[in-house]
Structure 1
Amino acid sequence: MGIKSFMGKRAKQTKGSNENITVADYMSKNLTTFTPDQSVMEVMNTLIKNRISGGPVVNDKNELVGIISEGDCMKQISESRYYNHPMEDIKVEQHMAKNVETIDGNMNVFDAANKFLESKHRRFPILENGKLVGLISQKDVLKAALELKGQTWK
């Protein structure tokens, strides 16, 4: 006797069902990015102006080389004050996270939610052919959940 599903036979999924809701459907494509040679002060101004907590660092070919966050900037403030170094001279490449975890744009958005929980990251970049094409944040996953709540959750 084979394995039986208690769910019964399922209809073929249609576009818009939560099985097909991907990271690419909810990722931000209009990104604020930084370059390795920018000053950390410039990054801090951009984070505050755009009300974001961090962003990807890309080279001139739009390839991801790191991520810089508010926390990275906070560390720099502390070190600059302690060592009495001018912040204008400190570059992004000295303080960005270089080992960046990315996720696939085709991943189900709820699987992405689990990745956020497991990793404690606030954002994941999405690459296509080595180029940065988007970024998904925890907030984007929450938006997806709220939109789907009306369709599927009682």
Structure 2
Amino acid sequence: MSRRSAERRRRRQALQELYASLPDVACQGLCQQSCSSQIDVSDLERDLLQASSGVRLPEWDQWPTGASCPLLTSSGACGDHANRPAICRLYGAGARLLEVMLRSFEIGGHREYAGRIETMRAMIADPRLHPAILRLLTGHTSPRQEFNRARHRRFSR
């Protein structure tokens, strides 16, 4: 076995271990909303997708303007869901990770959120609020700020 193929095998195994460490998010049928622009994947992921599907994703800087992911089917689903890259595996995981946080509040108690956990669950389930979830996960806002924004929008309609 060549040194190069051994390194490739090691990298493939490391990528599979990384994927295994992510929350398992079942297909939500939302790819059509998210895969309508450039998708940044590693070189190895690009190669693996080409090997499994026959489709080669363009490099980030060579992605045609306004083009959807070439793996997106006419029904709006991923054409190679089992072999999707990390960025696609993370889509939807934010809500799952927030559910773990809310469950920890239920188990351990939380003064501020004790009476709001079910409302927060409803917010997490609403795809329109995923930008707010992203802001939470990236530290650009606090749960209190997002809760107040959502409550204001909900009751000011």
Q: Do they fold alike, i.e. is TM over 0.5?
A: no
Q: Which is helix-richer, 1 or 2?
A: 2
TM-score (norm 2): 0.21
Q: Which is strand-richer, 1 or 2?
A: 1
TM-score (norm 1): 0.21
